[in-house]
Amino acid sequence: MTDWHLKKHPTFGGVPGPVLIVVMDGVGCGASNDGDAVWLARTPTLDRLAEVSLTTRLCAHGTAVGLPSDDDMGNSEVGHNAFGAGRVFDQGAKRVQMAIDSGEIFEGDEWKRLVRRVKESGKPMHFIGLLSDGNVHSHIKHLFAMLRRCNEEGVQKARVHILLDGRDVPETSALEYVEALEKVLHELNEQGGRDYRIASGGGRMFMTMDRYNADWSMVERGWKHHVLGEGRGFSSATEAIQTLRDENPGMIDQDLLGFIIVDEHGAPVGPIRDGAAVVLFNFRGDRALELTRAFTEPELSEFNRGPIPDVAFAGMMEYDGDLHLPRHYLVQPPSIDRTMGEYLARNQVSQFACSETQKYGHVTYFWNGNRTGMFDEVYEEYVEVPSDVVPFEQRPWMKAAEITDATITALRSGGLRHGRINYANGDMVGHTGNLDAAVIAVEAVDLSLGRLIPVIDKLNGALIVTADHGNADEMFEIDKKSGDFKRDPAGHLRNKTSHTLNAVPCYIYTPGNDSLSIDPHVQHPGIANIAATTLQLLGFERPEGYLPSLLAQR
């Protein structure tokens, strides 16, 4: 039985006013060079915070957030899980790899159900997902393992619907992954006399992988290509990618237009029909939920699906533990319990969470341990600011001002003890690879912070400013051997659109209080330490198992 009572902190009674956490999404500590948009930006507020706050740097990648190794970049999902849980849980990538290595995934009832379905019907096993080794939403080696298992179990036909990355990996690296996939498919076709092929594809920001109901037209485009087999036809994925790049100079993989693969008669090779099985092999939930709904919900108002095929559908993991979506999945997700949000709600401590659509689920769903909804509506307020549906580099300020407006209103309302907000700018604009826009994005966040500080001062509160991972801090690819920026054959700098392995900043601002310091005894501090730090500022002792606070009494 969980003891939900939060004990008073033994040495610190808490600040009188609210404790606000600001997540500057994608704002890491870079190399202070010409590719570091955070360093290049004019940030008078952050510069001032560095002078008047307790400051440190936190680890936000790899094992510090539950990923397999410290070569794995952090991401917003695992970062916000760590913020909210105050502890580190094994995350999707690690859990899936463990299930594959042990064979557990293939011994489970769900995998057996899928194989049985296609062997009985003679229809293909379809795989849909992000084709890269970014290890944020998926990993190509997970796909390869499942294709090889299909061959071993006598599955005659398989079709792969590829979503091109260029976001968690180099921006024009798609052909490397397509080549590797084609090699595996060729080997299996030759060895087992199989019929395994790529069937459709397109950029992840053009089709299928929308999140938080921001743009259902993306899912509709994916449905038409993957399921209905409607789209521009090519003889191979390589031909499609090369042609679309030639026709759209400068278009990077994540934005590449959709395509289908057709046979010599011009017919699509892989529409999804009755009797098939479908595996959505992304393990991360936010960009998998909408396609899951399209496959599994009898009634869907967001777009017209046409005839819905009768298929056996499974996700790689359960993407929403509250809604239980999907009902069928291959690997058990991490069970994240006793989050800070639940502790505060059960102790009747008022909370406020806010972001724009792109990151709203991060300060609610992911922060609360992959749980939809509130713990107690009496003590919680969640505000979603609708995101603009435009390319982020065209409006790099995004909705920072509106998030700030809502937060100031909540702070001034009286009685609020804890708030958490996310400024999406550094991450979403960083992903575009546009350095100039990323600089403006960071400046927009800094400007918003400048509006929050006077409110915290007046209310005698505390402000924690940090990030969930880096992104805008490294806008060009770097040669690991030389340390120089990489260039393409024409001599142009190669834009980097993925997250970084850099540490993230942490500013703890407690105006009028000089009794606290950064605790030098906290070893390898990471973003999971933020929960206990927040609770201490609220006057509470950390719950059992939580990583320690970053703060100590002077």
Instruction: Please identify which of the residues 76, 355, 448, 498 carries the catalytic annotation.
Output: 76
Query: Measured between alpha carbons, how far is 306 from 382 in angstroms, rounded to an integer?
Result: 35
Q: Is 109 helix (H, G, I), strand (E, B) or coil?
A: helix
Show Cβ contacts of residue 143 under 8 Å, excluding neighbours closer than 6 positions.
127, 129, 131, 160, 181, 281
Q: How far apart, in whole angstroms, are the C-alpha atoms of residue 464 and residue 85?
A: 17
Q: What is the CA radius of gyration of the chain?
A: 24
User: What is the rounded (10 degree) CA torsion for 458, 461, 466, 472?
Assistant: -20
User: Are 42 and 446 a contacting pair, CB within 8 Å?
Assistant: yes
Question: How big, in percent rounded to 5, are the helix, strand and coil portions of the chain?
Answer: 35, 20, 45
Q: Amino acid identity of 246?
A: D
What gap in Å lies between CA 538 and CA 242, rounded to an integer? Answer: 56
200 annotated active-site? no
Q: Which residues pair with 331 in a beta bridge?
A: 317
Distance CA 202, CA 222 (A): 8
Distances (CA, A) of 35 to 130, 447, 513: 27, 21, 37
- 8 Å CB contact between 549 and 529: yes
Task: Indicate which residues carry an active-site annotation.
Answer: 76
